[in-house]
Structure 1
Amino acid sequence: MKRIKFPHSYVLFFYIIIFVTILTYFVPAGSFERSTDENTGITYVLEHSYKVTEQKPVSPFGMFEGILEGMLDAADIIFFVFIVGGAYSIINKTGTLTVFIAHVANLNQKKGKRLIVFIMIIFSLCGTFLGTAEEALPFYPLFITIALTLGYDSFTGVAMVLLGTGAGFAAGILNPFTTGVAQILADLPLFSGYHFRFLTYLLLLIPSICYVLRYVKKIETNPTASITYAEDQLRNQKLDFNRIPSLENTHKRVLTIIFLSVLFLIYIVTFGEFNTTKMAALFIVMGILSGIVAKLDSSVIATEFIKGSSNIMYGALIIGLARSITVIMKNGYILDSLIFHLASSIEGFGKIGVGIGMFVVQSFINLFIPSGSGQAAAVIPIMKPIGDLTSLSRQTVVLAYQFGDGFSNIISPTSGYFMAALAIGRISWKKWAKWVLPLFLYWTIIGVLLIILSITVQLGPY
């Protein structure tokens, strides 16, 4: 059977841009009236205010202008993502995370299950606070080696990192790439509603840890039950704990910087006014201070910042391309028409039906747009007014997007970093999908229940 080949994400977005440009010639133009809340400064679409307007199609040259307009319109978010990527790269250059985890592995080499729990918690925290996903790829060989050294298998090594990171990323308590970008686009206070997402974090992570431990117990009883038993017989990857680098004072200082930065972030989100500018400034300070206390040369710090920003350029520019789609639809006066007809088609489903529908649609979109922040830029401008028209809170809209983007990352065959992780572990997608499907279904059910709960308690602030 010939494998279906999906186009590059940039190519896919360009096709969509061409398509919506053509639509401006055929879809009736229209617009809603909008009203701004004086207390919050939030602009809402007014129900029953839609009216048909004069057709103003976008020209082919105007389409290319729209691409630049989209880039400029999303400039604050794009540069925010660049800064986060650069700061993360500086921290990674210090080697602190690798040495810290290896050191903990050394201390717990006779307590394998406790180590698995610790590793999954650490990576879930990276996912939920730093938006770690692709950035975890360099760690997979290390944890495959640790898992084999502890008497488990390479499948365990991949599972504890992938599911730990995935649970944290999907919960997105303070994830700058998904929750942060989506809330900015939805005009919500940055990282508002984090208490609810903390509940989500626990409901995703704890069962995931239990799921991995259950597998580990199975292969302890019968090693041949290992999913990668044949492959692991050919591996010669055992860790010599006597040769692990010691945790130096430099590493401890970097860990202190990271810990204090996270505490400060939580404090500001809870008690202060937080926005993109403050978030970006915090990451700059955290990155530079980490480099300084690690005694990195200033030129090395600058080089790593550029390297980290470059590595994240793929996702950052997708944000601009996705925003271009919205800009072109606005310029052609068909965005409100699309929103009107979509909202009209789901009007009878009620708020719960709309919320679950957004989750399902976003899960499908995630198959084609692997960038979480790029998806937010593409769908939130449409989902936000639909939520307004159906009395669905914007916090629930973001939650539906977040779950749709995050959950399928542990099973989607079109996710680049997910498939790369399986390749490092020499695990076929079919074997992984068969094993993880029950957990994925549990996540999906929990996601639906949490969306219903958020609607029931009217999760806000708005």
Structure 2
Amino acid sequence: MPFPSAFTVLVAVTVAVWALTFAISAGRYDTTPDGAPIPGTYHAVERTTDFLDRLKDLFLSPVNGLYGVTDAGTGLTTPGAAGSFAGAAGVFLFILAVGAFITVTLRTGALDLGVARLAHRLHGHRTLLLVALVAVFSLGGTTYGMAEETLGFYGLMIPLMLALGYDRMVAASVIMVGAGVGTLASTVNPFATGVASDSAGIGTGDGILLRLAMWVSLTAIAAWYVLRYAKRVLADPARSLTPSTDEDRALAEQDEEVAALTGRHRAVLGVFATTFLFMIFAVVPWADLGVTFLPTLGWYFPELAALFIVAAVAVGLIGGLGEHGTAEAITRGAGDFVGAGLIVVLARGVTVIMNNAAVTDTILNGLHSAVSGTSHGAFAVLMFLVNVPLAFLVPSSSGHAALAMPILAPLADFAGVRRSLVVTAYQSASGWVNLITPTSAVVMGGLALAKIRYDQYLRFVAPLMGILLLAIGGFMVLGATLG
């Protein structure tokens, strides 16, 4: 029996949490002017909602998760209230905009061809080629959470790696491990860092220096690990985890010339790279980092959604898709990412149910009691470990973030560390688990395309998982120590 989808898991979580609110006592913390809970001020409160009101909360939870508004007087979130916006409509639109942008770029063929040209140029330099490819896929992971998009590259990588004397595992690991480690160490990935930061009440650029250091270090570890295995297979093919077949030998003998990049392709790749670079510039709080010669734009999801929509139109027209082709690709791309957006909405709906029942602070108080007295470093590592089982249950990084961050992020206030460290711990756990989770279409689909058994992949990746676990723990302690 297959593991339930993220949608089924979140619906089950919604119903379970709603039922548990009847058994959990209501309580509140006093808060600072910016909404942060004040340690030591937790107190019991009387619920103002009856059974029918709470049944209505369950019924409306997806709607509240999208555009619910929290009434300033009662503290209750409903679709028609007047007060502060609590829904995830901004995040939802942003996800659709990024989906449209990525799909339009892929439709032009520039991204696929760009990677193919890189592989062709470095064909005679095996070591440099492997390092460059791992870095490219890792860059995709850290900037926009490259996931399902990787499935289109297996047809290119497998013949190339076989022709160089490697095996199918090298081809699969360049893509899967490269993009996976990049996502694990996301710097501005909108589906992980962006959603988690929004749910934690901080900016996407908060904590970017630690995440950048993680990305560089963990990408280097991934490239070293893949290269180490590749050299072993090249020296002794008998040590391959995926022994060569007649099909492999036939593919290895293929020598296909890769088409040259046209001016359109180069322009599309330029716009693609510039868009993500500008996004990074727009979200980083330069003033907080002591950088005074750069303006702090303070962009958030509304501005970023507009950026990606405009960039999608520009890429489509520059790439030669025309008016009709560009509009169709934007529509198709947004449609392909509706699922990710709805998962965020469902997860946000769970948060609304807890808040309306006044149990969020009660749960937070219980967690605070459990972690109180731990050092900053131990707290950071504990946040990572807590998110590991959650990542398995909710393989969607966006859904995981929207579900966990409203509860876990305030714990950072009590522990005296930055909320951005909890975000980094969450995304590290999510990315680490998603390197091997059998519920992931990226993992299982990639292995199917590469014709590699899951047990073979586990044998390959198990030592790397241990190395990454130790490295992540080290970065958690470092981040907590530096503050």
* Interval of TM-score (by shorter of Structure 1 and Structure 2): over 0.9
Question: 305-314 or 365-374: which moved more?
Answer: 305-314
Deviations 1:104-133 (A, max 9, x none): 222222222221111111111111112211
Alpha-carbon distance in structure 2 between the residues aligned to 1:329 and 1:451? 29
Matched, 1:9 2:6: yes
Query: Is 1:300 aligned to residue 314 of structure 2?
Result: no
Residue identity matched to 2:171: G
Residue in 1 that maps onto 2:15? 18
Equivalent residue, structure 2, for 1:92: 106
2:64 counterpart residue number: 69
* TM-aligned CA deviation for residue 406 of structure 1: 1.1
2:54 alignment counterpart: 59
Instruction: Give the drift of 1:240.
Output: 4.8
Match 2:435 to one of 404, 407, 410: 410
Structure 1 residues 356 and 185 mapped into 2: Cα distance closer, same or farther (>3 Å)? same
CA 1:192–1:386: 2 relative to 1, 3 Å: closer
| Aligned counterparts of 2:359 and 2:123: Cα–Cα separation in 1 | 61
- The residue type equivalent to 1:375 in the other structure is H
1:370 to 395, 399, 403: 395
Name the counterpart of 1:43: 35
Structure 2 residue runs of 5 or longer lacking an equivalent are 68-86, 287-293
Worse-superposed segment, 334-343 or 4-13: 4-13
Task: Tell me how far 1:235 sits from its aligned partner.
Answer: 6.4
Tell me the residue number matched to 1:217. 231
**Alpha-carbon displacement from aligned partner over 1:152-204 (angstroms, at most 9, x marks no partner):** 11111100011111121111112111111111222222223222211101110
Name the aligned partner's letter for residue 148 of structure 1.
L
Which residue type is aligned with residue 113 of structure 2?
V
SS for the counterpart of 2:232 is helix
Does the C-alpha gap of structure 1 residues 235 and 9 become closer, same or farther in structure 2, counting only changes over 3 Å?
Answer: farther
Give the counterpart letter for 1:378 in structure 2.
L
Q: Secondary structure at the match of 2:36?
A: strand
TM-score, normalisation: structure 1: 0.93
Residues 449 and 330 (structure 1), Cα distance of their counterparts in 2 relative to 1, 3 Å cut: same
Q: Which residue of 2 aligns with 1:154?
A: 168
Distance 2:261 2:311 in 1: 20
Count how many residue pairs are aligned between Structure 1 and Structure 2.
450
Deviation string, structure 1 residues 402-421 (Cα, Å, up to 9, x no partner): 11111122122222211211
Q: State whether residues 376 and 415 of structure 2, in contact with CA within 8 Å, keep that contact through their aligned partners in structure 1.
A: yes
Give how far 1:238 is off: 4.2
Give the match's secondary structure for 1:237.
Answer: helix
Match of 2:469 among 404, 429, 444: 444
Identical columns (%): 30
Structure 1 residue 241, shift from structure 2 partner: 4.5
CA distance in 2 between counterparts of 1:240 and 1:279 reads 43
**CA-CA distance at 1:239 after TM superposition:** 7.3
**Structure 2 counterpart of 1:102, one-letter code:** A
Instruction: Tell whether the 8 Å contact from 2:61 to 2:352 is kept in structure 1 after alignment.
Output: yes
Gap regions ≥5 residues in structure 1 = 37-41
Separation in structure 2 between the aligned mates of residue 243 and residue 220 of structure 1, nearest angstrom: 24
2:25 corresponds to: 28
Secondary structure of 2:375's match? Answer: helix
Q: CA deviation at 1:337?
A: 1.0
Instruction: State the distance in 2 between where 1:168 and 1:415 align.
Output: 16
Query: Quick one: distance in 2 between partners of 1:263 and 1:334?
Result: 41
Q: Which amino acid aligns with 2:39?
A: E
SS at match of 2:393: coil
Q: Is the 8 A contact 1:20 1:329 kept in 2?
A: yes
- Residues 1:145 and 2:145 aligned together: no
Correspondence for 1:248: 262
- Runs of 4+ in structure 1 displaced over 3 angstroms? 55-59, 230-236, 238-243
1:360 is aligned to 385
Alignment of 1:391 with 2:416, yes or no, is yes
Normalised by the size of structure 2, how large is the TM-score?
Answer: 0.89
